[in-house]
Amino acid sequence: MIAETILYIVISVVVALALVLFMYGYKTKYTRRLRLLFGVLRFCTLLSLFLLLINPKFRNNSYTIQKPKLTVLVDNSSSVIELGKAQEVSGFVAALQNHSDLNDKFDLGFYAFGDDLDEMDSLSFAEKKTHISKALKTSNEIFKNELAPTVLITDGNQTLGQDYEFLGDSYGNKIFPVVVGDSTAYVDLKIEQLNTNRYSFLKNEFPVEAVVVYSGESPINARFTISKSGASAYSQNLSFSKENNTQTVNLTLPATRVGLQRYYAQIQPLDEEKNKVNNGKAFAVEVIDQSTNVLIISDIIHPDLGALKKSIESNEQRKVAFAKPAEAATLLNDYQLIILFQPNRKFAPVYIEIEKLRKNTWTFTGAETDWNFLNNVQDNFRKDATGETENISGQLNPNYGAFALDDLGFEDFPPLLAEFGDLSILVPHEVILQQSINGFSTGSPLFASVDNNGVRDAIWDAQGLWKWRAQSYLGDSSFEDFDDFIGRMVQYLASNKRRSRLEVTSETFYYNNNPLLISAQYFDKNFVFDNRAQLLISVTNKETEEITRFPMLLKNNYYEVDLNSLPAGDYSFTVSVRDEGVARSGSFTLLDFNVEQQFLNADVTKLTRLATHTGGNVFFLNQGEGMVNQLMEDDSFRSIQKTEQKVVPLIDWKYLLGIMVLTLSLEWFIRKYNGLI
């Protein structure tokens, strides 16, 4: 309390005492006992009232002890089982959980990781991927402002993601890797990597690249083969030595039949090899008899053209060609989709031919578009452009129903450049992206699709698409999501297939180390997406005829199911809508590939470097007590005493009001009892 407040309190005491003396000590008819009793009660009442008016503030200090956190990240992938260390890891984790001294010094948190990092409930060692860098990044973000050393229990063999070895310099706390497995070097010959196209065209050849790695001392010879249906499709003798331990095999195989073609690549195993699973890999190629050809017509050079080509051709079934307006009119019949980039009067012959051939189009407009020409040459949309430009963003329409879309965070993407003016679409359409400025919708579409009389068209009213593709990469370290967004539109526009109330999207084949996703959209009789429907998928194993049923979960404007729990094999499936006579069928092949089976021992070298960069130390599973002792003896891991000071005003103290009520009530009751009222 400050001195001024104390002075006010002293004055309040004096004034309250003076008022009591005046009321009960000067010319009063009460007895001495009643005067004294009334005086005390009235003094308490007046002083309480004055204190409430002054409202002094009191500081309350509370002290807490905060222990340093100890984050334990446990590798929950199947490689732990492959190394025969599942029981040892479970025992090691249980010992840490029950270690009394460790729990006294640290606040322990246990997390399991495979593809993602989750709080540890139990360890199954069933994860099919090991993403160590993601687990470390997530942990660092959670505890970046706290003292939280990390115990990393893993074999160090990462199967996807950024190399975790280089995260040490940016990690805020010490890391203590606990090595699962041993560092013994075994003789091993394996296919380290196998690269091939997912699709090939009939009567073409598709490339295959295999990287074969040898770990051993003595020179050896081995035969590399690729077989199909038990028959050899390719073979080559390879030589290895300690110094020359890697061979890259490049070859091409013919695509002679339409459909899914399955192959098996193998390097002949050595007699002394401990792990022979990694000597072979299955792969598949879908052979198709035609591709989707897209023609981009443009009279200008713009970076959006390159972004479009890259996005469209990310799917090997699609090919992109460029043409000037003057030469394009005679080429249209060879393409399934025509992209008109910033049309001007030179496009007049092109529009005549498009109308004659009833071609599907996708129009991109921008600062170089001649809107006077465009408004007159077609009847789908118009814009009263002023010649001025503005920066706009896009908001995804979650109710778009022509095909399934995910929100890529469009509102956070860099603004695009568009001509000022409202875009009006004059035919039945669906808006995909709504135009917005500073987060507020303008009511004008940025991206919309039209399905009118069997012809499909789309309009993208802005330029700067390349910025969005670049931003997507910066956010996800991949162009895949953005390219898939563009690819779905191309797939929709390049097809004239009649729309069905139930649309199912799936691949011909999957690898079982990746998500096996099948999505579907269901529309009511007015072709409005129905988010209240219950979709079920029935999956049948063609070999065992075992039937498995799964519910499909609603996700944005489509339903989806992940069938990754199925074993490898050939399957047929049927997606049906409960209480509706609507269903769609298909088939797929699930190829067996467990990347976690490819390792013989732990990557001690990389884990040691990670520990060194963060100031930690490396331990093995049998050195648990040594690790605990180092953690206990490290003086940098100390508990911190925190002081929390609260300033409490007296008016919040409800008891003072209770005292006033009590003293006034007692005074009234005593007066009543003595007949003074």
Give the pLDDT score at 75: 93
CB 601 within 8 A of CB 185: yes
* Nearest residue to 291 (alpha-carbon basis) of 198, 354, 199, 363: 199
Domain positions in the chain = 3-61+645-673, 68-184+601-638, 188-288, 293-493, 502-595
Q: Running DSSP on this structure, what letter comes out for residue 164?
A: G
**What is the average pLDDT across 275-297?**
86
Report whether pLDDT(157) > 70. Answer: yes
Is pLDDT larger for residue 203 or for residue 622?
622
Q: Do domains 293-493 and 502-595 have the same CATH topology?
A: no
Alpha helices in 126-183 (DSSP H): 132-142
DSSP code per residue over 286-303:
EEES--EEEEEEESS--H
User: Which residue matches tokens 């080509």?
Assistant: 309
Give the pLDDT score at 233: 92
Give CA–CA dist 562/575, Å, rounded: 13
Give CA–CA dist 113/93, Å, rounded: 14
Contacts of 390 (CB under 8 A, 6+ apart): 417, 418, 419, 420, 437
Give CA–CA dist 663/655, Å, rounded: 12
Percent of the chain whose predicted confidence (pLDDT) is above 90 = 40
Tokens of 524: 């009511």
**CATH (residue range 68-184+601-638):** 3.40.50.410
**How many CB atoms neighbour CB 388 within 10 A?**
9
- What's the CATH superfamily of 502-595? Immunoglobulins (2.60.40.10)
Give the pLDDT score at 403: 73
Q: Do the strands 455-461 and 259-267 form a parallel or antiparallel pair, or are they unpaired?
A: unpaired
Contacts of 249 (CB under 8 A, 6+ apart): 208, 209, 210, 211, 212, 224, 236, 238
Residue 125's φ and ψ, nearest 5 degrees, are 50, 45
Give CA–CA dist 48/649, Å, rounded: 14
Give the pLDDT score at 677: 67
CB 23 within 8 A of CB 603: no
188-288 has which fold? Immunoglobulin-like (2.60.40)
Give CA–CA dist 631/70, Å, rounded: 9
Is pLDDT larger for residue 87 or for residue 476?
87
* Count of positions (residues) in the chain: 677
Report whether pLDDT(210) > 80. Answer: yes
**What is the average pLDDT across 452-458?**
87
Q: Average pLDDT over the chain, rounded to whole?
A: 87
Give the pLDDT score at 373: 93
pLDDT in tens, 602-629: 888 889 999 998 889 999 999 989 999 9
Give CA–CA dist 210/454, Å, rounded: 46
Give CA–CA dist 546/540, Å, rounded: 6
Give CA–CA dist 426/58, Å, rounded: 70
Give the pLDDT score at 526: 64
What CA dihedral angle connects 658, 659, 665 and 667, to 10 degrees?
-170
Record the pTM.
Answer: 0.60
Give CA–CA dist 164/539, Å, rounded: 38
Residue 605's φ and ψ, nearest 5 degrees, are -60, -50
Report whether pLDDT(79) > 90. Answer: no
Give the pLDDT score at 591: 85
569: number of CA atoms within 13 Å, CB side?
15
Which has the minimum average pLDDT: 46-50, 287-291, 516-520, 583-587? 287-291
**CATH (residue range 293-493):** 3.40.50
Contacts of 639 (CB under 8 A, 6+ apart): 65, 66, 67, 68, 105
**How many CB atoms neighbour CB 197 within 10 A?**
14
On the 0-12 / 13-18 / 19+ scale of CB atoms within 10 A, 325 is buried
Alpha helices in 463-504 (DSSP H): 465-476, 480-493
Contacts of 463 (CB under 8 A, 6+ apart): 302, 304, 342, 364, 365, 366, 367, 368, 416, 417, 418
pLDDT in tens, 255-269: 888 888 999 999 999
CB 168 within 8 A of CB 613: yes
**What is the average pLDDT across 553-557?**
85
Give CA–CA dist 594/126, Å, rounded: 11
User: Which residue matches tokens 């069905």?
Assistant: 500
